[in-house]
Amino acid sequence: RSGGLFNELSNIIAINADGIAEGVAIGGDRFVGSVFIDNLLRMESNPKVKYMILLGEVGGTEEYKVIKAIKDGRITKPIIAWCIGTIAKYYDSGVQFGHAGASANAESETAEYKNNAMAEAGIFVPATFNDLPAKIKEVFDSLDIAPIPEPEMNTVPKVRRSKQFICTISDDRGEEATYAGFPISSVATPDTGKGIGDVIALLWFKKQYPKWATDFIETVIKTVADHGPAVSGAHNAKVTARAGKSVVEALVTGLLTIGPRFGGAIDGAAQYFKYADDNGLDPKAFLKYMKGQGVPIPGIGHRIKSLKNPDLRVTGLMDFATENFPSTPLLDYARTVEALTTSKKENLILNVDGTIGILMVDMWRALGYSEEEINEFIESGTLNSFFIVGRTIGFIGHVLDEKRLAMPMYRHPMDDILYDVQVAEEI
């Protein structure tokens, strides 16, 4: 009778038998369009229907018409039935359930009475509604019904398209955007005690770093912010700015020079020195290994600085690490390598790129990252990203300087160019 329970019953049948040939929810009103006996007699004459299931409820006498049809032979197929509402007997007064017709006006209309009457007539009646699935399976299995070939079903298209992007670092859907779960206001202002190092830790690594680590990150960024106008990146940015291009266009031309020969040795230094340390290579074995690779040691060597003219940026970074890091094993190893390289040539010192890369590995190890995680940081270009962030400050400074000084279009002096043009040969 219940439309809602009809859905549940259909699911129970599908799970415990082979599906449904026909189903009708006649409704729980007092006056309905059809009753149990009308539909069961029609199903009795349908050869596709092997057994029938009736789900009644408290109220009314329609179940007795089915019992009479069984007794006089008009219905011969097995019937499984249950009337819901057996709880009504536990109430002191009459109970009106949700349906208009779900109210017993006599004992014969109670669910318990009708269940007993149907069981006496040979209908399969479970002990409770919870036992109905097992009863359906029991009757279905006993009938030895030939399996029905399952048709090939069409693939249902996805209702929702897959996401184009996944973001795990920030969320702008709430009242306030967050960095790795922390509201921007909790890290943005000076009174929070947080700096740009804390923001980088949240957005790059999704972690809260201790102060010594965030201070080191900020020290690195400030250290590499600029190194004068002569380096390739600053030169490009200045020339582009003098061509009348915007700040962002001039900045990009400077950033695009960052690579293995300019500012991009941080990743390489971390990679090779970490490899040597991981594999237990002593300094001499490491130099031999790098010679076999056919590449200079990243992070070693400087065009201007040497043992006699040390790079104070490197000195500052090393002093900070010595005073604040829990330990610096990779830096200690790199210093022994530097002792060998400078014995051959005084300018083969640990440069700022090498120092940053090596100390970043020491920092991550002290923070508890696994070697696999550190390798992933290196391979993804994380270390060079610190140089990119820092040097962006300097590049923008040079661009603004050119604009402030209203410098004219740059043209390189011809006396600084060697022209060696040969007449093209005919082929």
Q: Is 324 exposed, middle or buried (0-12, 13-18, 19+ CB in 10 A)?
A: middle
Positions marked catalytic: 99
CB 347 within 8 A of CB 250: no
Which residue do the tokens 């709880």 mark?
87
From the centroid of its chain, how far is CA 353?
33
CB 54 within 8 A of CB 6: no
What type of residue sits at position 33? Answer: G
Determine if residue 339 is left, alpha or beta; phi over 0 gives left, psi from -120 to 50 gives alpha, anything else beta.
alpha
What b-and-e string marks burial along 295-318, b requiring 16 or more CB atoms within 10 Å of the CB?
eebbbbbbeebbeeeebebbeebb
Q: How far is CA 386 from CA 45, 392, 408, in A?
A: 82, 10, 32
Query: What is the spatial distance between Cα 297 and Cα 413, in angstroms, rounded to a whole number?
Result: 35
Cα-only R_g, the chain? 42
The 3-state DSSP class for residue 385 equals: helix
Cβ atoms < 10 Å from Cβ of 97: 19
Query: What is the spatial distance between Cα 169 and Cα 180, in angstroms, rounded to a whole number?
Result: 5
CB 258 within 8 A of CB 236: no
What b-and-e string marks burial along 132-168, b requiring 16 or more CB atoms within 10 Å of the CB?
bbebbeebbeeeeeeeeeeeeeeeeeeeeeeeeeeee
- The sign of the dihedral angle between the CA atoms of 357, 361, 367, 372 is positive
DSSP 8-state symbol, 183: E
